[in-house]
């Protein structure tokens, strides 16, 4: 193999090199100068983005004997994941500094997690996918527990770790079955083996497939594998919740598309039903249970489950349009969700997390600008035009209609209406209730600027969604 | 060949017996010993398949390191065998059902694969005499699987970072020994001789005693813990 072809893996290599630099540099940084680590972490992300742009290959390239793939889909997902990690670092810094958590390890674990996501997004074999998943998961477990003295954090980290280990075990078991049946771990070869010998498409392969879907469902947080999600979102400190809720969803989408479409696309008839069942349960349970939550992090956790259901329903269609809709939905959902969790951090201060819905009461009186930004984010999550979330839902519903599942499309519309209730309730609290907490917002200028841009992006993308939709269609065409 | 087949069935039978012993023995220490036996038998099977490197690694890593660790943990934790065995019988029907389904699926898989033309899955062929399993493994590990191999290395680095993040604590005010300071200490650092005027006998004892005392502990080589950085692991 030609050594120059390794250039396609430059983003991962660059990021790993940058992680080592940050790891060593952080040793020589005092606690009060931790912003140096913060700057270095952002610089690492910038260098990774540069490597992504500089080495973008034409079309699809497979290297490392079929374990690594670089294609337009991986480019889009990697750029988005790097950007969202940068966003979560910027939002988190003030909160971490105010609460004595501003350690280099937060950024390091975040960067390691990003490396895991990049590996997952670019994996072309089940082995690489699993290793990337473990890298991401390990970083996330440690991040959730990063505030060791906090009992809730420790408890949710424990839950996440144990359930995550079981899900990883299930995924690995499924992988071993697929390997046993098809004789290969590479997605292309799995497809080729099943196409060449249709008798392989039988019970043992479906048995393995079921375990793969359990793993995917867990990583995405789909019902009935969602138990960890609200607990972890609520229990983790807000910056960690923001991190977990944003970029890893893109990696989960890559996990789904690579395994179910690249690897087992020929089994669409078999997995479509399984995916549909967990997707329908997700949109129902996520949206209905979110109504009764009083903690906004937990509420957004259940809303995530609902959104994951929409993404999986788009994947369920099995058409290029459906996959493009899933990508579009994930990207636009993560923009709004990152903003919403960023707002929770923005309202928090030393020793106090604004994690209850009541903390948003009267936000308009305290800061009209950020109340408006939060309103944009909530309307986008609810799927109300002209915000971007509307087009995500629209594309997903039309993809489902195109494959002829009218009842499903009707159900999706109904749960969207149910879901709108709890997003609008936040807006009601902000504008029509009196503030219980009248403290001035204490966040730095960069977080405020980025938060404003985040809110405006939700509106701007909603006014001009065409290019993003065209990009998604082109990438998965 | 017949001798090998006899050996295979012998090792396989002992392996299955040992595996059952792990599950059914009442004493957890016995369970671990059965597990060690099971690992040995698997290593034997690998040796029969001419995978000597894997066989030796299994013995060294699993029997030598992991199982000893298991033994330590079991002996340190006071495992309540009674309650565990009660749970085992309570969930026995469910577990048997799952095990049955898994065994059935496995048999079907073997049956499915035995019909294919893939030579790698056919009857076992002995390798030529100059075949080196270790070399063959090394060759694929550093060429075909180099990407996965490097990611595994990254995961280990991440595990180190994560473990240190979660366990390293600096407790202020904890007293620990600083050996180098203790060795380097000189007599005049430890004892301070205070010149005092001779006093009449009836006033003895009225003098404040602190003056006679030694220096603060820090000078004697006992440093507060937070200064010691990397040594203060839990």
Q: Tens digits of per-residue pLDDT, A139-198?
A: 999 999 998 888 999 999 999 999 999 999 999 999 999 998 898 999 999 999 999 988
Interchain CB contact of A149 with B (< 8 Å): no
Query: B233 phi and psi, to 5 degrees?
Result: -80, 160
Interchain CB contact of B140 with A (< 8 Å): no
CB contact under 8 A, B113 and A23: no
The DSSP 8-state label assigned to residue B63 in this structure reads I
CB contact under 8 A, B146 and A64: yes
Interchain CB contact of A202 with B (< 8 Å): yes
Best mutation site among A30, A67, A193, A206 for testing chain B: the one with the most B CBs within 10 Å? A67
pLDDT at A64 over 80: yes
SS3 labels along chain A: CCHHHHHHHHHHHHHHHHHHHHHHHHHCCCHHHCHHHHHHHHHHHHHHHHHHHHCCCCCCEEECCCCEEECHHHHHHHHHHHHHHHHHHHHHHHHHHHCCCCCHHHHHHHHHHHHHHHHHHCECEHHHHHHHHHHHHHHHHHHHCCCCCCHHHHHHHHHHHHHHHHHHHHHHHHHHHHHHHHCCCEHHHHHHHHHHCHHHCCHHHHHHHHHHHHHHHHHHCCCCCCCHHHHHHHHCCHHHHHHHHCHHHHHHHHHHHHHHHHHCHHHHHHHHHHHHHHHHHHHHHHHHHHCCCCEHHHHHHHHHHHHHHHHHHHHHCCCHHHHHHHHHHHHHHHHHHHHHHHHHHHHCECCECCCEHHHHCCHHHHCHHHHHHHHHHHHHHHCCCCCHHHHHHHHHHHHHHHCCCHHHHHHHHHHHHHHHHHHHHHHHHHHHCCCCCCCCCCCCHHHHHHHHHHHHHHHHHHHCCHHHHHHHHHHCC
Where in chain B are the domains?
A: 133-168, 171-188+216-228
Distance CA A373, CA A453 (A): 9
Q: With beta carbons under 8 A apart, name residues in chain B contacting A204.
A: 105, 108-109, 112
**What's the average model confidence in pLDDT over A59-88?**
92
- At a CB cut-off of 8 Å and minimum separation 6, what does A371 contact? A363, A364, A430, A431
pLDDT at B233: 43
User: Nearest-CA residue of chain A relative to B229?
Assistant: A27
pLDDT at B185: 85
Interchain CB contact of A112 with B (< 8 Å): yes
pLDDT at B231: 45
Best mutation site among A19, A139, A180, A193 for testing chain B: the one with the most B CBs within 10 Å? A180
How, if at all, do strands B222-224 and A61-63 pair? unpaired
pLDDT at A382: 94
Residue of higher predicted confidence among B15 and B181: B15
pLDDT at A403 over 60: yes
Element (H, E) at B151: helix B146-167
Q: How many CB pairs under 8 A join A and B?
A: 82
Q: For residue A251, give Cα distances in angstroms to A82, A134, B193.
A: 11, 12, 71
Which residues are bridge partners to B177 per DSSP? B222
User: Nearest-CA residue of chain B relative to A63?
Assistant: B147
Q: With beta carbons under 8 A apart, name residues in chain A contacting B118.
A: 183
Distance CA A196, CA A388 (A): 43
Mean pLDDT for chain B?
80
pLDDT at B167: 87
Between B151, B164, B166, which is nearest A131 by CB?
B151
The sign of the CA dihedral A193, A195, A200, A202 is: positive
**What's the average model confidence in pLDDT over A27-55?**
92
Distance CA B160, CA B154 (A): 10
For the ranges A306-315, A432-441, B170-179, the maximum mean pLDDT occurs at A306-315
Task: Using a pLDDT cut of 70, give the percent of chain A over it.
Answer: 99
pLDDT at B234: 39
pLDDT at B10 over 70: yes
Nearest CA to A174 out of A142, A136, A130 is that of: A130
Between A103, A108, A135, which is nearest B154 by CB?
A135
Distance CA B224, CA B234 (A): 16
* SS3 (DSSP) at B81: helix
Query: Which residue matches tokens 């990407």?
Result: B147
Q: What is the number of other CB atoms lying within 10 angstroms of the CB of residue B33?
A: 17
**What's the average model confidence in pLDDT over A425-443?**
85
Residue B51's pLDDT band (cuts 50, 70, 90): confident
CB contact under 8 A, A142 and B154: no
Q: What angle do CA B197, B201, B202 make, to 5 degrees?
A: 120
* SS3 (DSSP) at B224: strand
pLDDT at A148: 84
Nearest CA to A77 out of A338, A282, A305, A326 is that of: A326
On whether the CB atoms of residues A244 and A236 are closer than 8 A, the answer is: yes
Alpha-carbon dihedral A90, A96, A102, A108, rounded to 10 degrees: -50
Q: With beta carbons under 8 A apart, name residues in chain B contacting A139.
A: 158, 162
Residue A108's pLDDT band (cuts 50, 70, 90): very high
pLDDT at B19 over 90: yes
* pTM of this structure: 0.87
pLDDT at B16 over 60: yes
Residue of higher predicted confidence among B57 and B175: B57
Nearest CA to A475 out of A374, A327, A344 is that of: A327
Which residues are bridge partners to A123 per DSSP? A68
pLDDT at B115: 65
Least confident of A298-302, A465-469, B85-89, B190-194: B85-89
CB contact under 8 A, B154 and A16: yes
Distance CA B154, CA B179 (A): 35
Between A23, A132, A181, which is nearest B112 by CB?
A181
* SS3 (DSSP) at B98: helix
Distance CA A245, CA A228 (A): 13
pLDDT at A291: 93
Q: For residue A84, give Cα distances in angstroms to A45, A139, A249.
A: 10, 16, 10
Which residues of A, range 1-20, sit inside 8 Å of B by Cβ? Answer: 9, 16
**What's the average model confidence in pLDDT over A51-67?**
87
User: Nearest-CA residue of chain B relative to A24?
Assistant: B161
Cis peptide before B134 (omega within 30 of 0): no
Residue of higher predicted confidence among A58 and A422: A422
**What's the average model confidence in pLDDT over A53-82?**
90
**What's the average model confidence in pLDDT over A452-473?**
93
pLDDT at B228: 45
Q: What angle do CA A279, A285, A288 make, to 5 degrees?
A: 135
pLDDT at B97 over 50: yes
Distance CA B28, CA B221 (A): 46
- Does the ipTM exceed 0.85? yes
pLDDT at A86: 96
* SS3 (DSSP) at B52: helix
Distance CA B181, CA A410 (A): 77
Interchain CB contact of A108 with B (< 8 Å): yes
Q: Looking at the complex, report in whole angstroms how far the Cα of residue A164 sits from the nearest Cα belonging to chain B.
A: 16
Interchain CB contact of B116 with A (< 8 Å): yes
Which residues of B, range 24-83, sit inside 8 Å of A by Cβ? Answer: none
pLDDT at A330: 96
Distance CA B30, CA B42 (A): 18
Q: With beta carbons under 8 A apart, name residues in chain B contacting A199.
A: 112, 115
Mean pLDDT for chain A?
92
Nearest CA to B119 out of A348, A148, A183 is that of: A183
Element (H, E) at B186: none
- At a CB cut-off of 8 Å and minimum separation 6, what does A149 contact? none
pLDDT at B120: 54
The tens digit of pLDDT for each residue in A319-346 reads 999 999 999 999 999 999 999 999 999 8
Interchain CB contact of A131 with B (< 8 Å): yes
Pair of tokens at residue B46: 């690998």
Domain hosting A13: range is: 3-475
CB contact under 8 A, A200 and B112: yes
CB contact under 8 A, B159 and A132: no
Give helix A72-98 / helix A104-121 axis angle, nearest 10°.
170
Interchain CB contact of B143 with A (< 8 Å): yes
Q: With beta carbons under 8 A apart, name residues in chain A contacting B119.
A: none
The sign of the CA dihedral A461, A466, A470, A473 is: positive
User: Nearest-CA residue of chain A relative to B119?
Assistant: A183
CB contact under 8 A, A128 and B148: yes
**What's the average model confidence in pLDDT over A256-274?**
93
pLDDT at B85: 67
Residue of higher predicted confidence among B218 and A434: A434
Q: What is the number of other CB atoms lying within 10 angstroms of the CB of residue A269?
A: 9
The tens digit of pLDDT for each residue in A38-47 reads 999 999 999 9
Which residues are bridge partners to A69 per DSSP? A62
The domain total for chain A is: 1
User: Nearest-CA residue of chain B relative to A199?
Assistant: B112
């Amino acid at each position: 193999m030609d050594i120059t072809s390794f250039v396609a893996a430059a983003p991962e290599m660059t990021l790993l090199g940058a992680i080592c630099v940050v790891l060593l540099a952080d040793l020589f940084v005092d606690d009060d100068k931790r912003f140096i680590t913060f700057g270095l972490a952002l610089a690492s992300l910038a260098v990774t983005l540069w490597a992504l742009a500089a080495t973008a290959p034409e079309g699809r390239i497979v290297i490392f004997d079929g374990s690594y793939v670089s294609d337009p889909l991986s480019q889009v997902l990697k750029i988005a994941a790097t950007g969202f990690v940068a966003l979560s670092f910027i939002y988190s810094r003030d909160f971490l500094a105010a609460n004595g958590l501003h350690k280099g390890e937060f950024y390091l674990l975040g960067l390691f997690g990003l490396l895991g996501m990049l590996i997952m997004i670019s994996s072309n074999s089940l082995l690489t996918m699993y290793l990337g998943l473990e890298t991401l998961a390990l970083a996330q477990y440690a991040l959730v527990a990063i505030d060791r003295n906090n009992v809730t954090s420790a408890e949710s980290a424990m839950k996440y770790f144990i359930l995550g280990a079981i899900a990883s075990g299930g995924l690995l078991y499924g992988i071993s079955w697929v390997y046993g049946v098809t004789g290969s771990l590479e997605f292309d070869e799995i497809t080729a083996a099943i196409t060449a010998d249709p008798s392989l498409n039988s019970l043992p392969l479906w048995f393995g497939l079921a375990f793969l879907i359990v793993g995917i469902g867990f990583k995405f947080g789909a019902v009935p594998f969602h138990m960890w999600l609200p607990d972890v979102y609520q229990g983790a400190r807000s910056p960690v919740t923001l991190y977990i809720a944003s970029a890893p969803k893109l990696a989960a989408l890559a996990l789904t598309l690579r395994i179910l479409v690249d690897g087992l696309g020929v089994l669409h008839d078999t997995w479509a039903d399984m995916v549909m069942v967990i997707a329908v349960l997700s949109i129902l349970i996520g949206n209905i249970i979110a109504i009764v939550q009083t903690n906004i992090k937990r509420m957004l956790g259940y809303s995530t489950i609902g959104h994951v259901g929409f993404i999986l329903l788009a994947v369920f269609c099995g058409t290029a349009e459906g996959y493009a809709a899933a990508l579009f939905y994930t990207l636009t959902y993560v923009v709004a969700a990152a903003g919403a969790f960023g707002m929770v951090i923005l309202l928090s201060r030393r020793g106090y997390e604004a994690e209850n819905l009541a903390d948003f009461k009267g936000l308009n009186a305290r800061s009209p600008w950020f109340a408006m930004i939060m309103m944009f984010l909530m309307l986008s999550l609810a799927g109300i035009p002209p915000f971007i979330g509307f087009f995500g839902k629209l594309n997903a519903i039309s993809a489902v209609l195109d494959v002829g599942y009218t009842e499903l499309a009707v159900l999706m519309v109904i749960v969207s209406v149910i879901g709108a209730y709890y997003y609008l309730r936040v807006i009601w609290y902000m504008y029509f209730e009196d503030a219980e907490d009248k403290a001035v917002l204490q966040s730095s200028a960069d977080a405020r600027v980025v938060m404003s841009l985040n809110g405006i992006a939700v509106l701007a993308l909603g006014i001009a969604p065409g290019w993003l939709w065209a990009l998604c269609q082109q990438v998965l065409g | 060949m017949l001798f090998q087949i006899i050996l295979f069935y012998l090792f396989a039978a002992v392996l299955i017996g040992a595996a059952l012993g792990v599950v059914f023995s009442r004493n957890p220490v016995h369970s671990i010993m059965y597990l060690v036996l099971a690992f040995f038998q698997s290593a034997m099977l690998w040796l029969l398949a001419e995978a000597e490197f894997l066989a030796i690694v299994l013995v060294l890593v699993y029997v030598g390191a992991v199982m000893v660790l298991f033994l330590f943990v079991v002996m340190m934790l006071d495992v309540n065998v009674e309650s565990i065995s009660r749970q085992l019988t309570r969930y026995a029907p469910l577990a048997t059902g799952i095990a049955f389904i898994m065994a059935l699926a496995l048999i079907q898989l073997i049956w499915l694969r035995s019909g294919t033309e893939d030579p790698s899955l056919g009857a076992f062929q002995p390798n030529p005499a100059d075949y080196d399993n270790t070399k063959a493994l090394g060759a694929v590990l550093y060429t075909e699987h180099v990407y996965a191999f490097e990611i595994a290395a990254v995961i280990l680095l991440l595990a180190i970072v994560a473990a240190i993040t979660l366990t390293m604590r600096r407790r202020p005010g904890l007293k620990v020994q600083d050996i180098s300071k203790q060795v380097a200490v000189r007599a005049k650092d430890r004892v301070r001789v205070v010149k005092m005027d001779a006093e009449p006998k009836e006033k003895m004892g009225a003098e404040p005693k602190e003056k006679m005392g030694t220096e603060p502990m820090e000078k004697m080589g006992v440093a507060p813990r937070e200064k010691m950085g990397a040594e203060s692991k839990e």
